[in-house]
Amino acid sequence: MALVAEERGSLVMSKSVAAVICAAGPGSRFGGKRKKQFVDVAGRAAFLRSVELFANRDDVKQVLLGIAEEDEELVNVKWGPNLKFFSVQVFRGGYERFDTIDKGLRLVKEGIELVAVHDASRCCVTAALIEQVIAAAAKSGAAIPACPVAATIKQVKDNTIVQTVDRSGLYEAQTPQVVETSLLRRAYENLKNVDEGKISDDSQLVEALGEKVTIVEADSSNIKITRKSDVAIAEAILKSRPKLKPGGPIGPYIEAQW
């Protein structure tokens, strides 16, 4: 492990991290010829933005990209050289998000202490937010970014409002969700004992074990592309930020693909 910072006079040790980037979903709500995770967002494919941020971190020892079998040719031909240059391990994910993560967990190397699970279509995540969530998980065992709910929330049945939900204390969960490797494996082993239809993210599986999950307060700019209209929003967010030069090595075909 590397020494990364000095805090209150004592050295803080970084923990080794494996990033599992989920890009195997069908993206049925997005529509179009290309899935949302592979769509161009301000000049780069959505999933590549996340790959780069994790691959450029010293504490990330492994980047695992889960894709669908039918997308293997597209990914290998269009982005294969860059993914190999950044030592990204591509694997076949599952139809459901949980299947992809479960398969990714089996590939995590021995000795990796934390696993960061990230949605490939959440391309506006920042390096600073990733840093904060990993640091929080290193201390507490599990952490996620979450944004306070700002909108008025209505519970609806048959197109009629049942009640207005009190939004105080409500947060919208985001990714990356970072969990101690052993804890996340236990959470997935327990998946058979919970109602999968009611589980929507990894932190909920950790909660099902009775373990606590820390939140790192984020904002709404860490959006997840779900519909085509979200692409324009994501591009506006990215273009509003200062341009940063790549922090890592420059790979082949850099100008064309990154």
| Cα first-last separation, the chain | 30
pLDDT of residue 46: 93
- Which distant-in-sequence residues (6+ apart) come within 8 Å of 18 by Cβ? 60, 61, 62, 63, 64, 108, 109, 112, 114, 115, 116, 181
CA 129 to CA 152: how far, in whole Å?
26
Mean pLDDT over 61-82 rounds to 95
pLDDT of residue 95: 86
Q: What is the mean pLDDT of the chain?
A: 88
CA dihedral 194, 200, 201, 202 (to 10 degrees): 10
Residue 144 has pLDDT above 60, yes or no: yes
Domains, the chain, with CATH or none: 15-241 (3.90.550.10)
**The pTM is what?**
0.86
Residue 148 has pLDDT above 80, yes or no: yes
Which tokens sit at 69? 């079998």
CA 184 to CA 112: how far, in whole Å?
12
- Which distant-in-sequence residues (6+ apart) come within 8 Å of 54 by Cβ? 19, 21, 60, 63, 116, 118, 130
pLDDT band for 67, please (50, 70, 90 cuts): very high
